[in-house]
């Protein structure tokens, strides 16, 4: 197993991406600590993991609350003995379908500030425990919008670019301590509720149906399809493992060819 004897924290584990990654980490042998704001969603993922023979624990944690996250991570480190993997899959609501010229400053900058804050708060808490042990992997997820801006996506492009810039800086600071930082780029998974909702919202501002928009979007990807949640979670497990030990300050391109590196 790729992650045997590893302790992994997954923030936003009640969501589609976070839940899929948590299940993959557990399948590969990690003990997974699921953090999020909605216990019922977290408990459902925990039940899936334990039913399959994996190890998981659930906690209600606001990933925007610096003190709450630091206390949570310290509790895990004291109990488990190490923090080996930290993955942030927290989602932030943002206004879509409206030109920037028609947005308010709050609609634009609030989700941007919240997203970069949760990245900072969770990464900092993990780093504080990974530095003394001289190892660890910090992971997050972005989309092609960090490099391929699109109209009417509100602050999304700026959010993705900010996360990627933060990951580069974090990798530069933590690399000498043996800590890797990897950002997974996903083009969005059609089997996730959030992508279905984005498609619906964008279709409302277009003269095409959601199905027509999806077909057109597929044409822009080299593989002519979008990555499924299982594929993204497999990439995350690989990047978190020692199989990817020389990789840091980079982006795992899981976009099915939306981005060409």
> For residues 205-243, b (16+ Cβ closer than 10 Å) or e, as one string?
eeeeebeebbeebeeebeeeebbebeebbbbbbbbbbee
Structural domain contains residue 220 = no
Structural domain contains residue 235 = yes
61: domain range? 7-190+228-254
Structural domain contains residue 82 = yes
Per-residue pLDDT, averaged over 102-126, amounts to 95
Structural domain contains residue 131 = yes
Query: What is the sign, positive or negative, of the torsion defined by CA atoms of 17, 42, 109, 67?
Result: negative
Strands 85-88 and 7-11: parallel
pLDDT at 198: 64
Calculate the average pLDDT of the chain: 93
pLDDT at 206: 67
Per-residue pLDDT, averaged over 130-134, amounts to 98
Structural domain contains residue 200 = no
Structural domain contains residue 240 = yes
pLDDT at 64 over 70: yes
Domain containing residue 49: CATH number: 3.40.50.720
Structural domain contains residue 62 = yes
Structural domain contains residue 221 = no
Contact 37, 95 (CB under 8 A): no
pLDDT at 209 over 90: no
Q: Which residues contact 70 (CB under 8 A, 6 or more apart)?
A: 124, 125, 128
pTM here is: 0.93
Which residue is associated with the tokens 């909605």? 38
Q: Which of 39, 35, 13, 38 is nearest to 24 (CA)?
A: 13
Tell me the pLDDT band of 153, cut-offs 50, 70 and 90: confident
Count of domains for the chain = 1
């Amino acid at each position: 197993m790729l992650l045997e004897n590893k302790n992994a924290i997954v923030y936003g584990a009640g969501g589609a991406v976070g839940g899929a990654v948590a299940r993959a980490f557990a399948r590969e042998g990690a003990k997974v600590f699921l953090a999020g704001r909605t216990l019922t969603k977290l408990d459902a993922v925990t039940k899936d993991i334990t039913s399959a023979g994996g190890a998981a624990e659930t906690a209600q944690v606001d990933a925007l609350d610096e003190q709450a996250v630091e206390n949570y991570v310290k509790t895990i480190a004291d109990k488990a003995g190490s923090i080996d993997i930290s993955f942030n899959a927290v989602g932030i609501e943002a206004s879509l379908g409206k030109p920037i010229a028609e947005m308010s400053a709050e609609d634009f900058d609030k989700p941007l500030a919240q997203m970069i804050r949760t990245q900072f708060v969770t990464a900092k808490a993990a780093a504080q425990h990974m530095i003394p042990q001289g190892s660890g992997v910090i992971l997050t997820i972005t989309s092609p919008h960090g490099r391929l801006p699109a109209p009417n996506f509100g602050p999304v492009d700026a959010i993705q670019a900010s996360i990627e810039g933060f990951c580069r800086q974090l990798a530069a600071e933590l690399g000498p301590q043996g800590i890797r930082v990897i950002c997974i780029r996903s083009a969005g998974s059609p089997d996730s509720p959030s992508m279905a909702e984005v498609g619906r919202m964008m279709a409302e501002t277009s003269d095409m149906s959601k199905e027509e928009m999806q077909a057109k979007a597929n044409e822009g990807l080299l593989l002519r399809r979008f990555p499924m949640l299982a594929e993204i979670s497999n990439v995350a497990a690989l990047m978190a493992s020692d199989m990817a030990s020389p990789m840091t300050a980079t982006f795992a391109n899981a976009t099915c060819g939306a981005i060409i590196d």
